[in-house]
Chain A
Amino acid sequence: MKGTVEVRQHRAGWAFVAPALVLIGVFFFVPVLAGLVLSFTDFDIYAVGRPDFARFVGLRNYVQALGNPMFWKALGNTLFFVLVGGPLSVAASLVAALLVSSKLTRFPGLFRSIFFMPVVTTLVAVAIVWRYLYQPQYGLLNWALGGLGIRPVDWLGDSHWAMLAIILLAVWKNFGYNMLIFVAGLQSVPEELYEAAELDGASPWSRFVHVTLPSLGPTFLFVGVMTMLGNFQLFAEPYVMTQGGPLKATTTVVMLMYDEGFRWWRMGMGSAIAFVLFVIMLAGTLLQMRLQREGRS
């Protein structure tokens, strides 16, 4: 009797998750597999109309992608964004989360909403406003810097500054999302820990370092991995702001993939670039998880 109940529960469970599984299968695994197959072909504009014009080319796309100096330039730009923009974004989120969670803060809900607003704003609208801010002659940013006696910077036109400008925009646009996750993480830290630390005479700073940070360990892992994955896929910001320029300083791996796939119609090459990026991101994720584990033990 007990066995059949278990079987029925089992079946019910599968029935409940089936719709989600089907959707994930159709809209995720099938396209990903098709992309993998595509990456071993030279599927291109000629093959869109005539599938028999596509050939299996083995690893040629991968060899060509890795031999393309533009790929390494784009990877360098992307890594710069990941390594500089990622930590900056996480730090900004944490600071914002601490501020809105502080007992001293009035109207925390209001501030949470304000900080979250950029996340839900359309990027194109945001980009237009930021283009005004970055405008070298009349922009607000250079005007403020001018007040400090700093000479105007051609934010989007100078290849040295363009990626930094994109990072600034992206951090501002996205920190609200991680802030909410940190807020949730902070709420789950037991109040007794703080009280005990306070009784032991711990200063606010050491309470932060020895209570808050360790308790946020799992949250850090989640936020770190998610931010990194998102940052590796940087596309929309430079696509709207700089179209990859100046001098290709803001061309990212995903932009390169987009150009190959949808501008030059070399879908095979585009897919190969996508899978190279996937491998890099997987390695990055594993590395982060290992670092986290070592940090804990």
Chain B
Amino acid sequence: MTIHERLLRHVLVVFFLTALAVAAGCGRPAAEGRVTLRFWAMGREGEVVQELVRDFEREHPGFRVTVQQIPWSAAHEKLLTAHVGGSTPDLAQLGNTWIPEFAALGAVEPLLPWLARSRAVAESSYFAGIWDTNLVDGVPYGVPWYVDTRVLFYRRDLLARAGWDSIPGSWAEWLRSMEDVKRLAGKDRFAIFLPTNEYTPWIIFGLQAGSPLLRDDDSRGDFAGAEYRRAADFYLDVFRRRLAPNVAGAMIANRYQEFERGTFSMYISGPWDVGEFNRRLSPAMSGAWSIAPLPGPDGPASGLSTAGGSSLVLFRASRHKAEAWRLIEYLSRPEVQLRFRRLCGNLPARVEAWRDTALARDPFSRVFETQLRRAVSTPKVPEWENISLRLQDRVETMVLGHARPDSALAALDREVDRILEKRRWLLARARRHAGAAGALP
């Protein structure tokens, strides 16, 4: 393909998109006392929320809601281009780790005034760690919609054979249980699978060890600090003792199959994998595996995990914020959250919903509830995903023995400091115009 062809294609794409945007603007029916809300939701959620929204319309006859379903893989780009192009919807579902970015862009509405007036949505109805992910500099930008967190999936049968009837709560004991499993499993099998190309476990271990990950108002890396160093020593020890294979996720072609074969007995993952494990493991495996809250360095209470999930946000450019807020309130009702759960299996964000008998009786849900109470937010800076990937690269070199932890973590901090240079400048600037400058994301 030649450069001219490409250029021409780009020009055509721009024209086409502009034409589409114009057409979409014209095509919208004129509101005659009716308000049309535009709601963007992703993946499976976008599919099932249509049903919830119909009930909302029945309850509020003056409202019409058009749900646009966006595939997760395209959601981030689409939202960004919509913001730059001035065509954001009235409200949307946003992965809660994206909130700092969209707050920095000034795309999403600060919700403090809306929350102050609301009787339906209050901070106390949410898991503290999850709520925290929605705050940027103390200002809330999203209302949690559904939640997820990582727990430990494990082979009950193999652990029992090794003499452990449950997953212990502390790192030291956990390590002992892994040793026992490994002894029975033999040379080519392992106690745990920690893929080197998935950064979440390395972040979780750091959080558990008490590392803030970033320091000085999130303007410098803190990976060479004593806390993260403790976490690194722990997981490198797991690899050194050959309790985990030092390979990337891609090397294990089918992790469900290998889990069933006993290639590894433990695996850190989230609620979506409960369904996957049920579906993909053979029927004989039911009851042979379970999930448990993550162990922590100093016992169960320190077994922290990530606070994931999606939030509902209002867009600053929306002209129907009040109406969109009512839809957010509706979707936040405990009974609507439970219906949402029944429709697509997502864990509800409202703690009231967890008192529902179906959830309270399900042992797996109980594990997630316990873990959600120990969920904490990762640093809320737009650069976080970039930093996470840098961490992943360094972990890989440490695990493979290409670099010593001291030098790898110090190099990581230097890299992170370079990424965060702009934040330091903005912080210094904000301090100079103390009070005058706007909120720093």
Alpha-carbon gap, A247 to B247, bound state (A): 12
B-facing residues in A112-143 (Cβ within 8 Å): 119
Does B422 sit at the interface, judged by CB under 8 A? yes
Contact A46 B426 (CB under 8 A): yes
Q: Is A35 interfacial (CB 8 A cutoff)?
A: no
Residue B345 interfacial (CB < 8 Å): no
- Check if A42 sits within 8 Å of B422, measured CB to CB: yes
B-facing mask of A10-45, CB < 8 A → 1, else 0? Answer: 000000000000010001100000000000001011
Contact B422 A265 (CB under 8 A): no
Interface residues on A, range: 20 to 34
Of A44, A48, A157, most B-chain CB atoms within 10 Å: A48
A229 touches B2 (CB 8 A): yes
Contact (Cβ within 8 A) B104 A174:
no
B212 at the interface (CB under 8 A from A): no
- Check A226 against B3 for contact (C-beta < 8 Å): yes
Pair A46/B77 contact, Cβ less than 8 Å: no
The CA-CA distance from A55 to B426 in the complex, in Å, is: 11
Interchain nearest-CB distance for A26 vs B (Å): 10
Instruction: Tell me the B1-27 residues at the A interface (CB within 8 Å).
Output: 1-3, 6-7, 11, 14
Indicate if B165 sits at the interface (CB-CB under 8 A): no
Measured between alpha carbons, how far is A74 from B399 in the docked complex, in Å? 24
Interface 0/1 of B401-441, CB less than 8 Å to A: 00000000000000000100010011000000000001001
Select which of B6, B80, B422 is within 8 A of A44 by beta carbon: B422
Contact with B along A240-255 (1 / 0, CB 8 A): 0000011000000000
**Do B105 and A48 touch (CB < 8 A)?**
yes
Contact between A46 and B84, CB atoms less than 8 A apart? no
Q: A204 interface residue, CB < 8 Å from B? A: no
Give complex CA distance A61, B141 in Å: 32
Cα-based distance from A139 to B316 in the complex (angstroms) = 49
Distance in angstroms between the alpha carbons of A262 and B107 in the assembled complex: 16
Known: A55-B425, A157-B250, A262-B77. A174 touches B7 (CB 8 A): no
Residues in chain B near residue A27, CB distance under 8 A:
7, 11, 14
Answer yes or no: B382 CB below 8 A from chain A CBs.
Answer: yes
Interface of A is mostly: helix
* In the complex, residue of chain B having the shortest beta-carbon distance to the beta carbon of A47: B422
Contacts of B441 in A (CB 8 A): 46
B382 near A230: Cβ-Cβ < 8 Å: no
A77 within 8 A of B: no
Mask for A44-58, Cβ within 8 A of B = 1, else 0?
111011100101000
For residue A288, CB closer than 8 A to chain B, the reply is: no
User: Does A212 count as interface, using CB distance less than 8 angstroms?
Assistant: no
| Closest A residue, CB atoms, query B6 | A233
> Which residues from chain B contact A262 at a C-beta distance below 8 Å?
77, 80
The listed residue (A28, A49, A226, A230) touching B104 by CB distance below 8 A is A49
User: In chain B between 49 and 68, which residues have their CB closer than 8 angstroms to a CB of chain A?
Assistant: none
Question: Closest approach, in angstroms, between the C-beta of A280 and any C-beta of chain B?
Answer: 14
Chain A CB within 8 A of B227 CB = no
- Report yes or no: B7 in contact with A230, Cβ–Cβ below 8 A: no
- What separation, in Å, do the CA atoms of A203 and B107 have in the docked complex? 71
Q: Could you tell me the distance between the alpha carbons of A265 and B107 in the complex, rounded to whole angstroms?
A: 15
User: Is B101 positioned at the interface, with any CB of A under 8 Å from its CB?
Assistant: yes
Q: Is B106 close to A, CB under 8 A?
A: yes
A contact residues around B248 at 8 Å (CB): 246
Chain B neighbourhood of A50, CB < 8 A: 106, 438
Instruction: Determine if B386 and A230 form an interchain contact, defined as CB atoms under 8 angstroms apart.
Output: no
> How distant is A123 from chain B, measured CB to nearest CB, in Å?
9
CB pair A48–B84 under 8 Å, yes or no, is yes
Known: A264-B383, A265-B382. A174 touches B106 (CB 8 A): no
- Inter-chain contacts of B2 with A (CB < 8 A): 177, 226, 229-230
Contact A174 B1 (CB under 8 A): yes
Whole-angstrom distance between the alpha carbons of A42 and B423 in the complex?
A: 12
| Cα distance, A28 to B6, chains bound together (Å) | 12
Complex: A264 Cα to B11 Cα, angstroms = 24
Give CA–CA (A48, B6) in the complex, Å: 26
From B7, B105, B107, B422, residue with most partner A Cβ within 10 Å: B422
CA distance A245 to B383 in the complex (A): 22
Give chain B nearest CB distance to A38 CB in angstroms: 14
A229 B3 Cβ-Cβ under 8 A? yes
User: Contact between B7 and A28 (Cβ–Cβ < 8 Å)?
Assistant: yes
Selected from B106, B250, B386, the residue in CB contact (under 8 A) with A264 is B386
Task: Please give, as numbers and ranges, the residues of chain A lying within 8 Å of B6 by CB-CB distance.
Answer: 230, 233
Contact A230 B1 (CB under 8 A): yes
CB distance from B180 to the nearest CB of A (A): 34
Q: How far is the CA of A72 from the CA of B441 in the complex (A)?
A: 33
Cα(A27)–Cα(B15), bound, Å: 11
A48-B105, A246-B250 as given contacts; A233 in contact with B3, CB under 8 Å: yes
Closest to A44 in B: B422
User: Which residues of chain B come closer than 8 Å to A23, judged between CB atoms?
Assistant: 11
Mark interface residues in B390-402 (1 if CB within 8 Å of A CB, else 0): 0000000000000
Q: Which of B66-96 contact A (CB under 8 A)?
A: 77, 80, 84
Known: A50-B106, A177-B1, A229-B3. 10 other contacts (CB 8 A): A27-B11, A48-B105, A49-B105, A64-B418, A226-B2, A230-B2, A233-B6, A245-B250, A262-B77, A265-B382
Q: List 5 A-B contacts (CB under 8 A).
A: A27-B7, A45-B105, A230-B2, A245-B250, A262-B77
Question: 7 smallest A-B Cβ distances: which pairs?
Answer: A49-B106, A226-B2, A229-B3, A264-B386, A45-B382, A49-B105, A230-B1
